[in-house]
Structure formats: structure tokens, C-alpha cells
Amino acid sequence: MAEFLTAKELAIKVSICLVVLAVVMSLCALFPRSVGTQKISWTKAFAGPGQKPGENIDYEILVRVRLPRVILAALVGAALACSGVVLQAILRNPLADPYILGISSGAGLGVIIAILSGISWSFLGGSPIGIFAFAGALITVWLVWYIGHFTGKSQVTSLLLAGVVVNAFFSAVIMFLTSIAKSEQLRSTIYWLMGNITEKDSAVLLVSAVCILAGIIGLFSICHRLNISTLGEYEAKGLGVDTAKTRVIAFAFAAFITSIAVSLSGLIGFVGLIVPHGVRLVFGPDHRQLLPISAIIGGIFLVIADTLARTVFGQEQLPVGVITAIAGGPFFLILLAKYSRKVSWLK
């Protein structure tokens, strides 16, 4: 007899993963006690804000620095992992990641323009760099989508090709602009390109959280159609799924949440590629559970990676993208070795 994924079973799995995420976020917010120059006292931190704002410095660090930072890491991790899941499905390509369709180079170009032009205004508490990254990413995705549709009948291939071409072109423009930039501008650009999670204004965090969660819920509603889209256009139509429509919805939501993630934290590689694969190896390819579980695991992964990034070198913080690549690669190989044996036994 066949086994079916039920809503109840999924709710249980997601709840367990959410508990793990909450535990990891709490631990990473509380530990290690001293980071940078400040050592926090838990007793004082849990005592509350005190009479006047800013009176209890330990509380302020926990609530205004540590907590927003782990929330930000969880949000960015979730967005990148979901985007990876969805792009791998609609492009029917296991090598797809959130940046495959030009988001990285578009956002990078936006950031360089913001840095080189020395713009200093902000919008809704967001930095000009973040806003330019967001705009650059969305404009590039639209461009790739337009070129992909304009050029080919086989939309998946032409989209991929358009993404590669636009990425290459914009990367060349980025290299040109960095080569003429001043050294201090160059440093902040390169740091941004490596991916970096820093504290954000609470309004920015709230707006981003609402947008990312809405995007993930939107993507979850098309998960059963994504399953079928992975079989190709003809198969999908025979099963009652309009792949073109599904692709537009999936692409729009994925581009939106990735652009938000990129504008918050720069280019953090590897999360959107290995988290979906890792979760798929353990839980299988059914997107109805692959997407929500990948979102949570992506969050957990980035929270841990960010904690390592800010602690392993003591005073000096590493870009989190370095940790995700260094830690994620071997972790993924272990998963692959363990589960590919199981799969080859099946074969």
C-alpha cells in the first residue's frame, strides 16, 4: 500500500523542526557570552530593560543586537533555501541556486552604483546599499525573464542561458567598476559581495520578515504543482498543471524573497544549493514537505554559520559566506555518502 503525506504528518514534522530552530536561535543568541568587547551577564540580561531605556546594557545587547541578528540570519537562510528549492524545480536542474538567474550580479551592480555614487539617504530605515541591491536584483531578474521569453520556445533552457549571459555581462561591469573604485569603496564592496549579516533596524527586520514569510506561504501553495513541473511541460499538462503559469508564480515569489535576502545580507553562497539537496536526500523530493523543511533547515544552518562567523576569530568577524562554503561543503558530502548508499541499495 502506498503511503501518503498528510497535512497532520507535515504539521508534526514542521513543528519539530521549528522547535529545533527556536532552540538553535536561543542558544546562538545567548552563547557565547562574550563576543567582541562586551561580555553579557545572563542574570542581568533576563532582568528586563530597567527603569530608563539603555540602563541595562546586557538586556539591550541581547534584545537589540543578538536577537535581531539571529532572526535576520534565520530569515535570510529560509529565503535562500526556499528559493533554491523552487528554482531547482522549475528549471528542472539540480545545480540551480537562488543566484542562477542573475540576482547576484544585478544586486552586486546595484550595490556598486550605491557605493560609488556615495548616496546616503535611507528609506523605511533601510540602507541605500540594501535598497539598491533589492532594485538591482529585481530589475535583472525581470531582464533575464524577458530575454528568456523573447528568445526561445524551450523556456527553461533559454531562461538558463539568459541568466548565464546577463550574469557574465553584469559581472564584467562590476569588475570594471571595482577596478576604477577607490580602495575604501573597494573594501566595502568586496565585503558586501562575500555576504555578511549585521544588525538591522527593527522596522526593516519586521517588513522583511512579513515579506519573506508571505513569499514562502505563496510558494507552499504551489508545491504540489512544482512536483509535477519537474516532469517537464508535456507531462505536466497531461496531469492538469499549466507549467507556464506555475513557472511565473514560482519565479516571481522566488525572485522576490531572494532579492530581500540579498538586500539584507549580501551574497551568501551555498545555502540555497546545499540545503535543498540535503533535505531532499533525507526527506525525498515531495515539495510539499521539501519547501517548509528546507526553509527551517536553511534558517538553522545560517544561524549557526553566522554564530561561527562572529566567534571563531574572536574580535574579528568573518563574512558568513565564507563559513557557509567551508562548513557546508563537507557536511553535504557526508549526507551524500550516507544517503547515496541507501539510494544505490534501492537501485
Partner 1 sequence: MNAFIEVENLNFGYTPQNTILKDISFEVIQGRFLAIAGPNGAGKTTLLNLLCGLLRPKAGCIRIDGAPVESYSVKKLAQKVAVVRQEFVPVFDFTVAQMVSMARTPYLGTFGFEDKTDKQMVNEALEATDTAQFALRALGSLSGGERQRVFIARALAANSPVLLLDEPTSFLDLKHQVGIYDLLKTAQFEKGKTIVAITHDINLAAQYCDEILVLGADGNYHIGETKDVLSPEQIEKVFGVRTFVGRLGREKFFIPLGKFAKDSGQIAGKSHNIRHE
* Identity of the residue, 41 or 221, whose beta carbon is nearer to partner 1 in the bound complex: 221
Considering only the stretches 142-150, 183-191, 279-287, 302-310, report the one whose residues sit in contact with partner 1 under the rule CB under 8 A: 279-287
Among 177, 223, 261, 303, binds partner 1 (CB under 8 A): 223
Give first-to-last CA distance, the chain, whole Å. 20
Written as one string, the DSSP assignment of 14-57 is HHHHHHHHHHHHHHHHH-SSEETTEE--HHHHTT-S-SSTTS-H
Q: Does 280 bind partner 1 (CB under 8 A)?
A: yes
Q: Does 228 bind partner 1 (CB under 8 A)?
A: yes
Which of 296, 303, 335, 299 lies closest to 11, judged by CA? 296
**φ and ψ at residue 126, rounded to 5 degrees:** -85, 145
74-103 footprint of partner 1 as x/- string (CB under 8 A):
---------------x--xxx---------
For the chain, give the number of residues: 347
Q: Does 2 bind partner 1 (CB under 8 A)?
A: yes
CB of residue 156 to partner 1, shortest distance in Å: 11
CB of residue 48 to partner 1, shortest distance in Å: 41
Q: Does 143 bind partner 1 (CB under 8 A)?
A: no
Q: Does 242 bind partner 1 (CB under 8 A)?
A: yes
- Maximum C-alpha span of the chain: 67
- Buried b / exposed e over 65-80, threshold 16 CB at 10 Å, is bbbbbbbbbbbbbbbb
- Cell (9 digits) for 14: 514542521
Among 124, 180, 337, 346, binds partner 1 (CB under 8 A): 346
Question: Which residues, including other chains, have CB under 8 Å from residue 195's CB and lie 6 or more apart?
Answer: 265, 266, 267, 268, 269, 319, 320, 321, 324
Among 284, 314, 334, 338, binds partner 1 (CB under 8 A): 284
CB of residue 200 to partner 1, shortest distance in Å: 32
Residues binding partner 1 (CB under 8 A): 1-7, 89, 92-94, 220-221, 223-225, 227-228, 230-231, 234-235, 237-242, 280, 284-286, 288, 343, 346-347
